[in-house]
Structure 1
């Protein structure tokens, strides 16, 4: 079971909203909307993607990583390592 299973509908709702925002940015570009207006929309889109990523990361930490730590051993170290890499990817963006 995925760590985000409890919040799956929320995540899907966020992703559908993000998808609609991407279509709106495409429309804005097709209609030659002013550059700064497009950039403002892109910035908002980035913030929404970041928020969705944080939700998924939180679910991963509170479910998958917590369970692995409770079990201990190499699996716990591996899950913590995965989480560290995911956090590193998020802060680079």
Structure 2
């Protein structure tokens, strides 16, 4: 039977990004806001709020998530991808294309 990794073990085996503190703070603030939006949507469902109003909130939340993804992608390209290319790691291009395809599916 396979054992699941603890968070610490997973952290030790994963590659890490190197976002400046102000970027991490901005991303965390945005994600906290999104988390609040999700809780609000859940409350709307529980209170039987009109479907169109819930859908409007879902759309706003999706837009906020897309903004986080765009910021992360920008940092990834300008940092991780550039660094790996400079090290001669051309495989990062295929990885980037796969990541972009995942984002475009949504």
**Common fold by TM > 0.5:** yes
Distance 2:78 2:98 in 1: 16
More RCO (CA 8 Å, sep 6+): 1
Is 2:73 the partner of 1:57?
Answer: yes
Residue in structure 1 matched with residue 95 of structure 2 by the alignment: 82
Report the CA distance between 1:78 and its aligned residue: 1.4
Asked if residue 46 in structure 1 is aligned to residue 62 in structure 2, the reply is yes
Give CA deviations for 1:20-75 in whole Å, capped at 9, x if unaligned. Answer: 00000000001110000000000011100011001111111000000111121xx2
Following superposition, the deviation at residue 16 of structure 1 comes to 0.4
Question: Structure 1 stretches of 5 or more lacking a match?
Answer: none
Residue 14 in 1 paired to residue 21 in 2? no
Shifted more, 78-87 versus 24-33: the winner is 78-87
Match of 1:37 in 2: 53
Per the TM alignment, residue 82 of structure 1 is displaced from its structure 2 partner at its CA by 1.1
Aligned equivalent of 2:17: 2
Number of residues of Structure 1 aligned to a counterpart in Structure 2: 89
Deviates more, 1:44-53 or 1:77-86: 77-86
1:70 corresponding residue in structure 2: 86
- Structure 2 unaligned residues grouped into runs of 5+: 1-15
CA RMSD between the two structures: 1.0
